[in-house]
Structure 1
Amino acid sequence: MTPAASVDLAGLGFDEGAHVLLRRALVPLRPGARLAVDGRHPQLRVHLPAWCRANGHRVEWSGPTPVIVRGDRDDQRWLGAVRAGSPGPGSVDPRPASGWGLAARGSLVEEGGPEVHFDLEERDLVWAAVAPRLYAHAANRQWSPDTAVDWHAPVDLPDDIEAAVVQVMTYLVENEQAALLVPARFLGRIHPHFREVVQLLAVQVADEARHMEVFTRRALLRSPTLGSSSAGGRASLWTLVQESDFSLTSFLLSVLGEGTFVDLLAFLVAHAPDPVTRRVAWLAMQDERRHVLFGVAHLAEQSRVDPGLRDRLRDRLRDRLRAAVERRHDALLDTAGLNDDVSDALLVLAAGGWDPASIASGHRRVQALRQAMDDGRRRRLERLGFPADEAAELSALHTRNFM
C-alpha cells in the first residue's frame, strides 16, 4: 500500500527530538494509515520500533524506508481524561475535583494523578465575581518603592514632629505585617481552580510587603530607631492572624480593619508634614482600597448564597472581642484604646503647631477621623445587609486599635 504521507527526519535521532516530528506527521492520519519515514540516524532501526510500540503504532520494513502504520491506541492514555472546567473566569466549577490538583483550569486532565485536597475547594467559600478584574487592576498598578517615592525630597522637620512621623510609621509597619500574614496563610489552602482569587491574594501579600518597606524607610529616613509597639496592639492584631475561616477573616480584616486603615491613610495624606510621608501614605491607600473592595464583594456574594452568614459573622465577632478582652484583662488600657504614643503622634501631625489652639484643632481632627472610621464601617456593614442599628452596634465593637 502506498503511504498516505511521509516525514524526513534527516539525521535527527530520538534523543534529539525525532519523536516530535513523527507525532506531528501522525496527527492528521486516521488509524491504519501509513507514514513513510526517511532518516539517516544510525540507531533509527532500533529506536523507531521501540517508540512505535510505546505509542500503539506498528512499523513495517518492506524496503530501505520504514513505514509506520498508525494505530488506534495513540490517545488511549487520554480516554478517561476530562476538562478541568473552562479556562475563562465566567464558568468556574462550583466544586472542582480533587484529582485536578494543580492542573491549569481548562486543561485536559489525564487520569491517575494524585488526589490533592485543599481546605477551600468550593467556589462559594472564596469566590467573588470581581476577582478577575481586581487582579488585572492590581497587576497593572504595581509600583516600585525605589522609583514611586522621591526619597531625596526635602524632609527637614523639627525633632518632635519627626518623632511623631516615626511613631506613626512604626505603627503602620506593625499593622501591615499582620495584613501580610493573613492572606499568606490562605494561599496554599485555596484550590488552584480559583486562580484569580489566589493571584489576587498573592498580589495583596506583595502589596503589604511594599507597604512595610516604604513605611520602614520613611521611619528611618532621619531617625536611627523606630517607635514603640504596645502589647495590646500586638494582641489585637494577632487575633486577626489566628482566624482560620476565610469569610470571617475577610470580614474582620477587609471590611472592618483595612477599611478603617484606608481612613487613617487618607488622614495622613491630608496632614503629612513632608512630601515623602504624604507619598507613601497615598500609595498604600490605593492598594488598601482594592483589598477592601474584594473583601466586601466576596462577603456580599457569600450572603446571597448563605442567608445565615450575617448571623454567624455577628456572633463570631462578638465572641472574638469578648475572648480578646479576657486574654488582655491585665492590659485593659491598651485594649480599650489606641496606643497612647500613636494617638498623640496623630494629634501632633494634625495640629501642625504647639500652641493650645493648634493642639485643640489637632484633637478635633483626630476625633473627626474616628467618626469617619465609624461611618465607613457602618456603610460597609449595611452594604452587606446588616440593619442600620446592628451595623452601628458592630462598628462600635470593633477594636479601637483601628486594625
Structure 2
Amino acid sequence: MTPHFLDLGDLGFERGAHLLVQRALGELRPGTELAVTGRDPALLVHLDAWCRKQGHQVRRAGDTDDDVRAWVTRGRTDLDRWARAERAGGPDPGGIVAKPELHWGLAARGALVEPGGPKINADLVDRDFVWADIAPSLYAHAAAAQWDPAKAVHWDAEFSVPAEIEQAVVQVMTFLVENEQAALVIPARLLARVHPHFREVLQLLAVQAADEARHVEVFTRRALLTGGEMGTSSVSGRESLTTLLTEPDFSLASFLLSVLGEGSFLNLLTFLDRHAPDPVTRQVVKLARQDEARHVAFGVAHLQHQSTVDSSLRGRLRNAVEHRHQALIASSGLNQDVFDALVVLAAGEWTPQGIERGYAAVQELQAEMDEGRQHRLVRLGFPHDEAAELSALHTRNFM
C-alpha cells in the first residue's frame, strides 16, 4: 500500500506548517500513518510537540525510510471531540431552537459547537418568552432608520417663543428626559439576560436602548437650547418609573413599558408635534415618535406570540397592571408643572379663551391615550370591557 506522504519543504511550524499537517491528517482515518518530510532543522521537535497536543502519535523515521523524517499516526482525540459536537440551530430565524443550551454561550447561531466550555449567564432562554416573528424585520427597519441628533435636527433654526411658552417647553422636555431614561435602562437590563441565540431580539433591544439614548440627548438639548435651566422632577413621576425598573419578568416589563407606557407616549408626542411653538421642538418629537412606534410594535407582537403558547398570560398581564396601580395608589399623579405646561403649549396664549382651549386639548389627549391603550389591550385578547377597566388603572404619569 502506498504510504500517505507530506513534504513541508522549508516551511517550519513557527510559520504555519501545522496547517498542512492538520489538513493531511484530516483526510485520513484514525490509525493511518502519514509520512512527513521537510528541511526545517526544528521540524521533528515541533512536530512531536504539536502531535502530542492534538492526540496523534509520532515516531522518527529510521535510516531505511529514505527522505521521510517522521511517521505520524492519526489519533482519535480530536475526532471524538467533534463527533459529540452539535449545531447551534441554524443561522436564519427559521433555525432558532426552542430552548438553546447554556453552554452554547456566545457561539454564532448555526455554528458547530464543541462540547464543554462555560455556561453563559442568561436566564431568558425560552423562545416563547422573548421571541416575536416581527423581530428580524423590525430590526432591519430600525437599523435603516437610525438618525444623527447633530444632523437630523436644525438646531440653528431661528425662532422666537415668548418666555412663558418657552418655560412650558423646557418643563415638558425635562419630563420626557426622565421617562426616556427609564425606557433606556429597561431594555439595557433585559438585553444582558437574553440568550445570544435569539440575536434578533438582542439587536432590537440594543437599538431600542440606542434610540432612547438619542431621545435623552435631543430632549435635553432642546430644554437648554435658549440658555435656561431644566424644569422640575416630581416624586410621583419617579415613583411611577421605579415600578417599571423593578419588574423582573421580560414579558411583563415589555407590557408595562412598551404596550402601555410608550404606547401612551405616542399620543403625547403627537400632541407635542401638533402644538409645538417652534420648529426644533417639532423635529425632535417627530423623530422620537417614529422610534417609539417600533418599540410599541415589538412589545405588542411579542405578547401576541406568547399568548398563543401561554394561556395564563392575560391573567399575569392583568395582575401586573393591578399590582402597579396598588403600588401607586397613594401617588399624587402627574406632575402639576407638566400638566400646566401641556395646557400652556396647547393654549399658545395667556387669555381665558386660550387656556380653556388648552385645558380641553389636554383632556382630549388623556382620552386619546386611554383609547389607544384599550385598542392595544384588545389586540392582546382582552374583552372590550376588561380592556377599558385595565386602561383606567394605568398610571396618571403617562409612562
TM-score by length of 2: 0.92
**Residues 68/260 of structure 1: CA separation in 2 closer, same or farther (3 Å cut):** farther
SS at match of 1:216: helix
Structure 1 position 85 matched with structure 2 position 89: yes
In 1, Cα distance between equivalents of 2:301 and 2:10? 59
Deviations 1:213-249 (A, max 9, x none): 1110111111331001111111011111111111111
Report deviation, 1:2: 4.3
**8 Å contact from structure 1 (residues 2, 34) kept in 2:** no
**Residues 22/323 of structure 1: CA separation in 2 closer, same or farther (3 Å cut):** same
Residue of structure 2 in register with 1:202 after alignment? 206
Structure 1 position 19 matched with structure 2 position 18: yes
For 2:353, the aligned partner's letter is A
Q: CA RMSD in A?
A: 2.0
Deviations 1:300-349 (A, max 9, x none): 11111111211121123112211222xxx3xx4x22xx211111111222
In 2, Cα distance between equivalents of 1:394 and 1:164? 31
Residue of structure 2 in register with 1:53 after alignment? 52
**8 Å contact from structure 1 (residues 261, 402) kept in 2:** yes
In 2, Cα distance between equivalents of 1:280 and 1:193? 35
In 2, Cα distance between equivalents of 1:7 and 1:286? 63
Residue of structure 2 in register with 1:363 after alignment? 359
**8 Å contact from structure 1 (residues 37, 67) kept in 2:** yes
In 2, Cα distance between equivalents of 1:119 and 1:33? 46
In 1, Cα distance between equivalents of 2:169 and 2:5? 77
Residue of structure 1 in register with 2:320 after alignment? 316
Give the stretch that moved more between structures: 390-399 or 92-101.
92-101
SS at match of 1:170: helix
Report deviation, 1:95: 1.5
Report deviation, 1:207: 0.9
Deviations 1:129-181 (A, max 9, x none): 11121122212222211121121111322211111111111000000011111
**Residues 273/3 of structure 1: CA separation in 2 closer, same or farther (3 Å cut):** farther
Structure 1 position 393 matched with structure 2 position 397: no
**8 Å contact from structure 1 (residues 218, 277) kept in 2:** yes
Task: Select the residue among 220, 226, 238 that pairs with 1:234.
Answer: 238
In 2, Cα distance between equivalents of 1:249 and 1:92? 23
Residue of structure 2 in register with 1:10 after alignment? 10
Structure 1 position 128 matched with structure 2 position 132: yes
Structure 1 position 168 matched with structure 2 position 167: no
For 2:369, the aligned partner's letter is M
**Residues 6/402 of structure 1: CA separation in 2 closer, same or farther (3 Å cut):** same
SS at match of 1:111: coil
For 1:85, the aligned partner's letter is G
Task: Select the residue among 152, 155, 165 that pairs with 2:156.
Answer: 152
In 2, Cα distance between equivalents of 1:77 and 1:91? 24
In 1, Cα distance between equivalents of 2:397 and 2:255? 16
**Residues 380/27 of structure 1: CA separation in 2 closer, same or farther (3 Å cut):** same
**8 Å contact from structure 2 (residues 38, 69) kept in 1:** no
Structure 1 position 255 matched with structure 2 position 251: no
**8 Å contact from structure 1 (residues 7, 35) kept in 2:** no
TM-score by length of 1: 0.91
**Residues 155/67 of structure 1: CA separation in 2 closer, same or farther (3 Å cut):** farther
Task: Select the residue among 175, 182, 186 that pairs with 2:186.
Answer: 182
Report deviation, 1:102: 2.3
Residue correspondences, number: 394
Give the stretch that moved more between structures: 22-31 or 111-120.
22-31
Task: Give the fraction of aligned pairs with identical amino acids, expressed as a percent.
Answer: 61
**8 Å contact from structure 2 (residues 25, 74) kept in 1:** no
**Residues 378/64 of structure 1: CA separation in 2 closer, same or farther (3 Å cut):** same
Residue of structure 1 in register with 2:69 after alignment? 66
Gaps of 5+ in 2: none
Report deviation, 1:104: 2.0
For 1:53, the aligned partner's letter is R
Gaps of 5+ in 1: none
Residue of structure 1 in register with 2:311 after alignment? 307
In 1, Cα distance between equivalents of 2:159 and 2:35? 78
